[in-house]
Amino acid sequence: MPVPLSPALEPFLDLLRCPTCRTNLHPDHGALRCPAGHTFDIARHGYVSLLTGTRATSGDDAAMARARDRFLSTGRYRPIRQAVARSAADAGPEQGTVLDVGCGTGYYLAGVLDQLPGARGLGLDTSVRALRSTARAHERAAAATWDVFRPFPLADRMADIVLDVFAPRNPSEFHRVLRPTGRLVVVRPTGRHLAELRGQVPAVVTIDPAKEQRLSRALAPFFETSGTELVEYATSLTRTEALDLVGMTPSARHLNRAHLAEDGLLPGQVTVSVLVTAYRPR
């Protein structure tokens, strides 16, 4: 049976482009198709598979996406979501279009859509397990597979807000798809973020202090800073939450859950410390 076009995907039809020939896409028997016949399946779970035939350079596996879903549902990162939503609401028109690149499970996209009652949101990610959650994260959220390092399958100037939360970045494409009045909102960890976890769990990736400099150098040709908020707080963690927090990072691939839990390595409290910056296009 053909999969019906999800209602959230419909408003994006005029903004999506065929990744191969850059023409418009239209619905056709549970898929999206361009005039040249390139066809992209709509999954039963609601996201459209625009990334076809090529392996993505990176992305979360199913276990990581599940751990992220569980951890975010605890609310431990709610203050980050609130800061992202504030930053987006300051900049975005209520009727606008929000693009979340490396959207994961759609947790932050849904938070922004709640703040902008007439807005629609599209999440892009390489992780199909994460996109299953994004497609369900909000009634105005749609989701598509895409690799951030390739030219986006999107029209120029389609977005009022581009979100990039703990995800890889493509500054020139962010700039191309943003309207001149739009804002890019970037969230990244400071050196203090989850320091207790990094102190005790050896494989948890350390934060390179030169990262901030690299970020500003990469964005500078395209964007200027409009405002930054530091979100920093301590939060307690149950053992399961700590395991999920480790499990949603790439370090999880090198660690054994049972060993971690047994060896008493997991901290009962961590510092959350991130920067939320809004940028305006040059």
Ligand X SMILES: C[S@@+](CC[C@H](N)C(=O)[O-])C[C@H]1O[C@@H](n2cnc3c(N)ncnc32)[C@H](O)[C@@H]1O
Contact residues for ligand X (CB under 6 A)? 56-60, 68, 102-105, 107-108, 125-127, 130, 147-149, 165-168
Cβ closer to ligand X: 96 or 247? 247
- The size of the interface with Zn ion (CB under 5 A), counted in residues, is 6
Give the DSSP H/E element, type plus range, for residue 198.
Answer: helix 195-200
The burial of 29, by beta-carbon neighbours within 10 Å (0-12 exposed, 13-18 middle, 19 or more buried), is given as: exposed
Residue 34's binding partner among Zn ion, ligand X, none (Cβ under 5 to 8 angstroms by kind) is Zn ion
Cβ closer to ligand X: 148 or 177? 148
CB 265, min distance to ligand X, A:
21
CA 243 to chain CA centroid, nearest Å: 21
- Classified as helix, coil or strand, 199 is helix
If one counts every other C-beta atom within 10 angstroms of the C-beta of residue 118, the result is 10
Instruction: Report in angstroms the alpha-carbon separations of 176 from 7, 170, 173, 222.
Output: 26, 10, 5, 9
Cβ contacts of 213 within 8 Å, gap of 6 or more:
none
Cβ closer to Zn ion: 21 or 220? 21
Residue 190's binding partner among ligand X, Zn ion, none (Cβ under 5 to 8 angstroms by kind) is none
Residue 257's binding partner among ligand X, Zn ion, none (Cβ under 5 to 8 angstroms by kind) is none
CB 88, min distance to ligand X, A:
13
Residue 18's binding partner among Zn ion, ligand X, none (Cβ under 5 to 8 angstroms by kind) is Zn ion
Residue 20's binding partner among Zn ion, ligand X, none (Cβ under 5 to 8 angstroms by kind) is Zn ion
Composition of the chain by helix, strand, coil, percent to 5: 30, 30, 40
Cβ closer to Zn ion: 38 or 45? 38
Query: Distance (Å, rounded) from C-alpha 252 to C-alpha 247?
Result: 5
DSSP H helices, 14-127, are: 62-73, 78-91, 107-115
Binding to Zn ion by residue 243, rule CB under 5 A?
A: no
CB 33, min distance to Zn ion, A:
8
Restricted to residues 9-38, the positions that interact with Zn ion (CB under 5 A) are: 18, 20-21, 34, 36, 38
Q: What is the CA radius of gyration of the chain?
A: 19
Residue 59's binding partner among ligand X, Zn ion, none (Cβ under 5 to 8 angstroms by kind) is ligand X
Q: What residue type is assigned to position 44 of the chain?
A: R
CB 37, min distance to ligand X, A:
26
Q: Name the site residues for Zn ion (rule: CB under 5 A).
A: 18, 20-21, 34, 36, 38
